[in-house]
Amino acid sequence: GAGVSQTPSNKVTEKGKYVELRCDPISGHTALYWYRQSLGQGPEFLIYFQGTGAADDSGLPNDRFFAVRPEGSVSTLKIQRTERGDSAVYLCASSLLAVSYNEQFFGPGTRLTVL
Amino acid sequence: QQQVKQSPQSLIVQKGGIPIINCAYENTAFDYFPWYQQFPGKGPALLIAIRPDVSEKKEGRFTISFNKSAKQFSLHIMDSQPGDSATYFCAARSNYQLIWGAGTKLIIKP
């Protein structure tokens, strides 16, 4: 079956602009996660959804970042007033359940470049 | 306390050799320790994982050794091949949140 998909694969924007990054999880997966991966680093947790609700958004760096998952499937990460420091690869993952041993399946990521 | 420290940062091994990547953690609440493999332009993919009640787990050419008292775990790749060249990440999980090491860029020379 299809894996986690993310669009766009690349996004170049100018400082101060608004961007939306989309994640399509594996069908039937109730848990969805967003991570940010800077060059040469491991992914950093941003937010986790269980169903439609954000169960933990403690990793969002500031209030310019927001994510939604209105129907419990597709999720959108929204970044307002982008800054150069927001440049990174944004990874989405999903898992069947949000329990410790459930494997998280990752999408290929969206590479965001803020000029 | 939430950190996972990974070493080395990069590693070059001849084909057939056994690269070893090490990780250390502090938080005893971690209860699941996966290793991920990431190729350029791709998302991380689960390679092998271990729970802290087991000291070793082997899947094919990949082995995790786990030392609970030392809070350390390592990945060994037997009979390494050029196709194993990738970046490897260790991680530790508490509930749903994965805390990642900084990664090891592994190159297997033919």
CA–CA separation, A103 and A27 (whole Å)? 15
The H helix count followed by the E strand count for chain B is 0, 11
CA–CA separation, B19 and B45 (whole Å)? 19
Residue-level pLDDT at B41: 87
Interface contact B44-A106, CB threshold 8 A: yes
Residue of A nearest to B97 (CA): A45
Interface contact B96-A33, CB threshold 8 A: yes
Residues 6 or more apart from B69 whose CB is under 8 A from it? none
Q: What is the pLDDT of residues A87-96, one digit of tens each?
A: 999 999 999 8
> What does the pLDDT profile of chain A (115 residues) look like in tens digits?
589 999 999 999 999 999 999 999 999 999 999 999 998 889 999 999 998 988 899 999 999 999 999 998 999 999 999 999 999 999 999 998 766 567 889 999 999 999 9
CA–CA separation, A59 and B93 (whole Å)? 15
Residues in chain A within 8 Å Cβ distance of B32 = 100-101
Q: Side-chain half-sphere of A40: how many Cα atoms within 13 Å?
A: 3
B26 is written with which tokens?
């502090």
